Amino acid sequence: MRLGLRERFVAVLAAVSALTLAVAAVALFSPLDRLLRADARDRLAQTVDSELVDFTRLPAETVRRGSPQLRAAMQPLRRTGAEVAVLDRSGRVLVTTDPESSASLTAALEALRTGRETRLVTENGSESEVEIAVPVTIHEVPVIVTARRSLDDVRDVTGVVQHAFLLSAAAGLLGALLVGLLIAGRMAGRLRRLRDTAERVAHVGPVAEFRPEAGRDEIGDLSRTFATMQSRLREQEQSRRAFVATASHELRTPVTSLQLMLDLLIADLEAEPVAVDDARQQARKADEQAARLSQLAAELLDLSRIDAGLALRSEPVELAEVLRSVVAEMEVRLTGEGRSVAIGDGGDGWALGDPGNVARIVRILLDNALRHTPAPGGVRVEFVDPGDQVGIAVQDEGPGVAAADRERIFARFTRGAQAEAGGFGLGLAIGRELARRMGGDLVLEETTTGARFVLSLPRVP
């Protein structure tokens, strides 16, 4: 038999409640019975002690068996409900309020032996009695005054308390079970809704609808966390589909162009005579398309690494040295296009970041600036110092970025409306994500001419 969460919760609650009540009963009834017995014993002893004056005033000749004076002195003790007896020094009963009683005189005999007051609680089957024996001297004649009283009233009081406790315990246990059933039922219902939603997500994907709970407990937190996870899964699925669709589209164009150029190249090479000039031109175009494909493959690899959440290094990086290295890599291109990169002063800033990825971002910014700057224009690079960060600002002489495109150009596979063909709309997206992963940012600042991109990174303490 499979027990659900509600049944287990109620069973545990009932077991804990029953154990608690059992411990409470043991802790209550046993001490209560002892306290009541001790109180009855002490009260009887006090009563006996207070009435002994009547015995000490009697003359010595009254100490004899059946003495009416002794009987009269016992009456105040008799009114307490106790059975009273007086014994001489040999243990013989002189007078008693219950001549037919066969009860033992253990306390009286103990008092005779020790000469001290004796207090005893005796058990006789289901009956309990308290017995007090006090040595008394009547004009130098020693006697023992003993009083014995049943503890039925103590048993009655304990029974009333036990009955009330059992009724209260039963009511409390029943109430706890009802409340437990209610709470467990609601809890199980909320968890079942989460389970059903998880099963729907497993079958139909993150598009399954789910409304998080408003409760402020752990299940409510779990519900909201699940909703957040589902929303992120949905966004990731949409991004994946958009990524696949866009990447397929972006790849189709250069692959198709490359295939067409190779076909033309083969045709030129097989022609009689061979069209060398045209073949050379087709080969050059094919090489450009292959370079585009290589660039797209590298950018897609960078995106996959970013999405995988690979940890980036964090170490001091000298921005001026990184900039000089990247410019040196582009020297052939700059010379061939008649371009230049002007570097401003103040390049002694040290930033915290991953050296390879910092160079990657700088390379993206310079390539983007050169692509959008008409020949023979150049690019200007400045070092900036925004508060607790340091960075590099790259300024081009291109047409700039329209206001509507200022944030769009940082999205994947997105280019500005005034951008020229040649890019895939991945460079700036990669650059911003890398910068933010290193604790910095990549932004487009306002400028009157061209576009000004600023890379900022945390300053080395």
In this structure, are residues 364 and 355 in contact, taking their beta carbons and an 8 Å threshold?
no
> Can you give the pLDDT at residue 421?
46
Using alpha carbons only, how large is the chain's radius of gyration in Å?
A: 52
In this structure, are residues 230 and 201 in contact, taking their beta carbons and an 8 Å threshold?
yes
Q: Where are the beta strands (DSSP E) in 99-150?
A: 118-124, 127-138, 141-150
Helix and strand counts by DSSP (H, E) for the chain: 11, 12
> Can you give the pLDDT at residue 348?
65
**Amino acid letter, residue 456:** S
> Can you give the pLDDT at residue 250?
65
Nearest Cα residue to 254 out of 423, 454, 32, 84: 423
Q: Which two tokens stand for residue 416?
A: 């500005």
Under DSSP, the state recorded for 332 is: H
Residue range 315-458 forms a domain whose CATH class is alpha beta
In this structure, are residues 303 and 437 in contact, taking their beta carbons and an 8 Å threshold?
no
**Amino acid letter, residue 331:** E
For domain 5-157, which CATH number applies: 3.10.290.10, 1.10.220.110, 2.60.40.10, 3.30.450.20?
3.30.450.20
**Amino acid letter, residue 73:** A
In this structure, are residues 85 and 71 in contact, taking their beta carbons and an 8 Å threshold?
no
- Containing 153, the helix (H) or strand (E) segment is helix 152-204
Q: How is the chain split into domains, by residue range?
A: 5-157, 218-307, 315-458
CATH no. for 218-307: 1.10.287.130
> Can you give the pLDDT at residue 418?
52
Q: Which two tokens stand for residue 157?
A: 């009081």
Query: DSSP per residue over 395-445, as a string?
Result: E--S----GGGTTGGGSTT---TTPPBTB-S-HHHHHHHHHHHTT-EEEEE
pTM above 0.85, yes or no: no
Q: Which two tokens stand for residue 238?
A: 């949409």
Per-residue pLDDT of the chain (461 residues; tens, 9 = 90+): 456 666 777 788 788 888 888 888 888 877 888 888 888 888 888 888 887 777 888 888 888 888 888 888 888 887 777 888 888 888 888 888 877 665 667 888 888 888 888 888 877 766 788 888 888 888 888 888 888 888 877 777 888 888 888 888 888 888 888 887 887 777 777 778 878 877 877 777 776 677 776 777 777 777 788 778 877 777 777 767 766 776 676 677 677 777 887 887 788 777 778 777 787 887 887 787 777 777 777 777 776 666 666 677 888 888 888 888 888 888 887 777 777 788 887 666 788 888 888 888 888 888 888 888 877 778 888 888 877 888 888 888 888 787 777 777 777 666 555 555 445 567 788 888 888 888 888 888 888 788 888 888 888 87
Question: Distance (Å, rounded) from C-alpha 391 to C-alpha 382?
Answer: 9
In this structure, are residues 80 and 150 in contact, taking their beta carbons and an 8 Å threshold?
no
5-157 and 315-458, same CATH topology: no
Question: Distance (Å, rounded) from C-alpha 57 to C-alpha 293?
Answer: 130
